[in-house]
Structure 1
Amino acid sequence: MSAAAILPGPVAGGGRLATLGVMGGGQLGRMFVHAAQALGFQTAVLDPDPTSPAGRVSDYHIATAYDDEQGLAQLMQRCEAITTEFENVPASALSTLAAQRRVAPGPQAVAVAQDRLAEKAHFAVCATTTGVGPAPHAAIASEADVAAAPEALLPGILKTARLGYDGKGQVRVDNRAALAAAWVQLGRVPCVLEQRLALRDELSVIVARGADGSMVHFPVQRNLHRGGILAVTEVYPDHIPAALAEQAIAATRAIATELHYVGVLCVEFFVVDDGSRDGALVVNEMAPRPHNSGHHTIDAFDVSQFELQVRALAGLPLVTPRQHSAAVMLNLLGDLWWRNGQPVTPNWAGVLALPGTHLHLYGKHEARPGRKMGHVTITAATAAAARERALAAATLLGIAPWP
C-alpha cells in the first residue's frame, strides 16, 4: 500500500473525513478512538460485542467476528488504514485487510507476538547484538519433550505457546512430575517451559516506529504485577539505573527494527538478581499494541502512546514524548466493586479530591474480579509527591500498598 501520509480532516474533494479502523473494541481500542478523533479522524471498530467500550464511542461499529468476510469488507470500505488493539486477533484477518489497506502493525509481526516460541526465537536473534535475551527455556509439545526437558529449567513456569495473557495459561512447576501434570492440565497444547528466575524488578519500554524507520520511545517504566495482572506502574526521572534503562531501550528498539515493525510496541523485561549492583536484564514478552503500563502517558506526557499509535498508522511525524510530571498509574480491577461478597461503590469522591488525580473508567457495565475496569494516574511535580498521593488513593480504594 502507499506510504503517503493519511492526513486528518476532510479527504480531498470533501464529503467525508479520513477514517482509521481498529480490530478490537476493548479499552485500548477506546483510547485509540479518542486519540484519533482528537486529531480529526473518523474511526471504525470491528468487534463482535455490540456493547464494546470502543464500539460505543467510535463513529462506526461493525459488530461481527474478527474473521467474518463481510465484516472485514465493511472495515476496508470505511477505512484508509487499520490497526489492532490486541495481539490475538487472527493474523489471517490482518493479512486479508493488508491486501487492500494499510495495516500496522503488519500480520507477520503480530503472528510472532502470538506464539511464545516464535517470540523467544526473535528475542534470541536480537540478543546477538544487544546482549539482552530471553530466559532459558525449552519447547514442550509431547510427553517425550516433558521427559527430555533439561533439569536446569526446574523449578520453572510452563506457559501455553499461544493465547496466554494476564497470567492465564501458566503453571508453576517445581519438578518433572509437576511438569507432566501441568502439561496435561493445560490441555497438552504446545507450551514453553521457562526457568524460574530470582527477580528484582519488572520493567517495560514502549516505542513507536514509523514505516520510514523513524522511532521514538517513552522512558523505562517500573511495573508491579499481582496475580499475573499489572497493578502499579511508576515513572519518575532517574528512577531506573541509567545503564539498565539504556540497555532496555536499546533492546526494545532492536526488537522493533528486526521485525520491521510499524506502530506502537511494548516490550516487558525482568531484572534478574545476578549478584551485581543493578541486576541483569532478561526480555520477557512483547505486545504489538499500546500497553496497560503506558496508560499514564495520557496525563504525564505531551503526547500519549495512543496518539503515537495514530501517527504511526497514518504515516504522520513521530515526535519524541516529553514527560512533564512524575507519575504513578494504578490499575482498577473489578474486585474494587466488591467487599465481602457484597457490591460496593469505590470511593471516587475521595480519590478525586487528591491533587493531580486523573480517573479513567472504560465504560464496562459489569465489574468482575480480575476484569480491567479502568485506571487512575496520579501526577505531581516530584516523585515523592506522586508516590505519596498514589498510596493515599490506593488506601481509599482498598488496594494494597507496594514497596
Structure 2
Amino acid sequence: MRTFAELSPSPRTILTPGPVEVDPRVLRALSYPILGQFDPEFTALMNDTMEMLRQLFRTDNRWAYPVDGTSRSGIEAVLTSLIEPGDRVLVPIYGRFGHLLHEIAERCGAEVTTIEKEWGTVFEPEEIVAAIKRTKPAVVALVHGETSTGRLQPLEEIGRACRELDVLLVVDAVATIGGVPVEADAWHLDAVVGGTQKCLSVPSGMSPITYNERAERKVLSRKRVERGLRGPDYSAPAEERRPIQSNYLDLAQLQDYWSPARLNHHTEMTSMLYGLREGLRIALAEGLDARFARHRLHESALVAGLRAMGVAFYGDPACKLPVVTCVTIPEGIDGESVRSMLLDLFGIEIASSFGPLKGKIWRIGTMGYSCSRKNVLHFLGAFEAVLLRHGFRLPAGAALQAALDVYDAAKEG
C-alpha cells in the first residue's frame, strides 16, 4: 500500500491576478479552535464581519455578508436571486469575466443583451447608458476590474444612470475589493460581489457581497412562503410562485441566516470566517486609503522597472487596473518557458491569459499581501535574468534602478 508524505507545499512568491499569498496573521486565524455556528461567541464574530464588510464596501447597506464558496458562488447567488426567467439583462463585455456574467444570466432564463468592447479597453459610460436606454433591462451586470485584460471600468456615471432609470446594477468587484476603491453607496451600486483570494489576501472559499434595499425588494418578491422546516407553500397558484432557482445560493434564506433570527440554512464555514474576519481587520487597520496608495506605489515601481527593461505593455493605459500589469510577450520568446523558469529557479509565479490573449501576454498581479517592495524587486531581478537567458536584449540592471527611483521618490515625498 502506498504511503503518503507529510504535506509541505513549496514556498512561492505569487504574483498572479489571484490567488495571492495569504497574510500570516490570516493563516494563524484559520488554525483557531472550532466554535459551534450558533455559539454566541461565533455569532458575535459574524456580526463583526458584517460591520467590517460595510466599511470595506463603503456602504450603509443592511446586508453585507459572505457567501460560502469561491467568488463565483457570490456572483451566482446575486444573479440567481435577482434575475427571474424572462427578465431583460444587459451585460457589457470587455474581457473573459463579462462572458461569465452572460452565461450565468442566460442560465437564469434571462433575455440577455450583450455589448462588447475590444479587449484591452473599457466602455465609455455613455456607451453603456445608451444601451440601457435602448434595451430597457431590469438588471445590468458589469465587471469592475477585468483581470483577463488588466483593465478597470469606471462605474460612477453608469450607477447614476441606472438609479435614474430604475435599473438594478450588479457589479463584479472580485479583483478590486480591498485594493482599489469600490464605493457601493456613492456610485449607486445595487449589489456588489467581492472575493477573498485577491486583494484581501485570504484563501479562496468565501465571497463577500453587499446589496441595498432596491435589490432586497426584488429578492423578497421571490421568497418562498415557508412551512415547518423551510417547505414551500404549494397552495399558491403556480403562476404566483417565482422562487429563486437555487437553495444554497438563495439570498432570501442567506440573509435570514445572517439576521438576528439566525434561521438555519447551512453549516457556516467556521475557519474560513475566522480568516475573513482577520483579513478584514488587517485591511481596515491599515486604512483603506493607505491600502489603495500602497497598491498604487508598488504598481508604479513595477511599471517603471518593466519600462526600463524595454518590454511592451498590453492595453489602453488610461484604464489600467492598478493591481494587474499586462506585458506583451516579445516576438520569438516562449512565454510558457519564461513562466516555468521563473517558477523553477526563483519560486515566482506569474500568469498567462485566456482566449484571444492566450500565449500573447503575461499578467503580473500586485495584490494584497503579495503587493510589496520585496516582491516587486525580487520579480524584476528574476524576470531580467530569465529574459536574458531567453535571448531578449535589454539594458542589464536598469529595471531595478528604475524601481528603486520610484521608491526613493515616495520616501522623499
Same fold (TM over 0.5): no
Answer 1 or 2: which has greater helix percent: 2
Structure (1 or 2) with the larger CA radius of gyration: 2
Q: TM-score, normalised by structure 2?
A: 0.28
Structure 1 or 2: more strand by fraction: 1
Question: Highest relative contact order (Cα 8 Å, sep 6+), 1 or 2?
Answer: 2
